[in-house]
Structures are given as structure tokens and as C-alpha cells.
Amino acid sequence: MRRWDDPVIVALDVSEWSRATRLLDTLQGKVETIKVGLEAYTCLGVGILDELRARGFRIFADLKLHDIPNTVQGAVRGLVRRGVDMLTVHILGGRDMLQAAVYAARDEASAAGSSPAAVLGVTVLTSLDRKSLEEMGLEMEAEELVISLARLGVGSGLDGVVSSAREAKRLREELGEEAIIVTPGIRLTGAEVQDQARVVGPAEALEAGADYLVVGRMIVDDPHPGSALKRLREAAVI
């Protein structure tokens, strides 16, 4: 997949259509890619994907698919038909599931004569810390688990991974230049971390090797989203 010029991805984490359209009106022409997560997808439905496509946004469908291979393959086909540009699966779903997702994305795109959506693997959620991992029976440090899962994901054909920018430098060293690295948990200096445990500033994330920065609440919840986006770009020097 060709890298896009704009590394900023805004997460449309809203549950009402009126709020979504106001935000999109503000962001149109200021950012290229919008992320649709579970909140927007379940509250607004698949129509939000059609709305984004009609407005000319690139679409990052961050639904973190995690199920048996056949079910994930069907879901990926549905997303590709809706014109998404990137989508996510949980690497913990295992090699067979990951390969099924990649096959579905490429096969569906081939049938439509379009470029395949990038399939990215979620490693360790940025809300999880060492204590959280231990409670799940995972004794590895977060960074080591991220690297291990990333190797499995890319080795299974994924185009890249989603991970905290804290691991971005090692991921770039381990996965090479071709792998796409998307980093959520981006915060400006002094901002509240909220429910994120492993956060990083935008410039630091890009310097570490991230291709894309996912930013949600600091823009979506700001009374002036356009101004918040401008502050982010200034902090990231982009």
C-alpha cells in the first residue's frame, strides 16, 4: 500500500448523526482520513462509511475483527465492498484468521478492479499496562508482546500493525520499512491521558517510525475541532 501524504487520522468517536455531520463539515478539507470505530459503527450503522466516501474522506474501519476465520473473511469482504481503505483485525485471532482476512481483502478488491484495503493487526491495546496483561495470564512485558504479535501478523500477510508509539521504534527495526505502523494514544503535552495507559506525543511518534497518528477525543471533544487539529499539526511539525 502506498503511504498517504497526511499522517493524521481523526477518530470519529461519536454516537449521533448530527454530531458526526457537524464534525465532518468542520474537518472536510483539513484532514484526509477518518477512523470509524465500534461506537460510530454500531450507533450510526454502515451508512457512516457511505457518508465518508461521498465526502471524499479515506476510511479507516477500526473494528478490530476477532472471530473464526470464515466469519472474519465475510466481514472483511463487506467492508471492502463499502470502500474502506484500511481495516483492523486482532492478531490474537491467530494465523488462519489473519490469512483469511488478507485473502478476503485482496480477492474482493481484485473482483472490483480496485486497490486492496490495507489489513492491519492490533497488537496490544494502548489502554493495557503490565498489570492488565498479568491479570489475563500474559507474563510478558507489553513491548515484548507487541513485537511477538507483530511478527506473527506481518508473517501472516498483514500490511502492518496498530500499536502504541512507545513500541514504534522497535517495530520499525523488526518489521522493516514496508510495514505500516499506525499509532493511537497520541496526546499533546499536558493533556489528560484518560483511559489510555501508553501515550506519546505526536512528534515523538513520527520520529519513532509511525506512519499514521490516530487522534480522537482531543479533536472530537474540543469546542473548536479545527483549531485542535491545527494545534496537533503544529506539535507534530507537519
H or E element in which residue 62 lies:
strand 58-65
Q: Is 64 a catalytic residue?
A: yes
DSSP 157-211: T-SEEE--GGGHHHHHHHH-SSSEEEE--B--TT---TT-SS-B-HHHHHHHT-S
CB-based contact 234:8 (threshold 8 Å): no
The x, y and z cell numbers of residue 116, run together, are 486492496
30, 64, 131, 169: which one is catalytic? 64
8 A C-beta contact, residue 171 and residue 147: yes
- The grid coordinates of residue 134 equal 498479568
Round to whole Å and give the CA distance between 95 and 185. Answer: 26
- With beta carbons less than 8 A apart as the criterion, state whether 233 and 186 touch: no
Can you say whether residue 136 is alpha, beta or left, with left for phi > 0 and alpha for psi between -120 and 50 degrees?
alpha
Which residues belong to the active site? 64
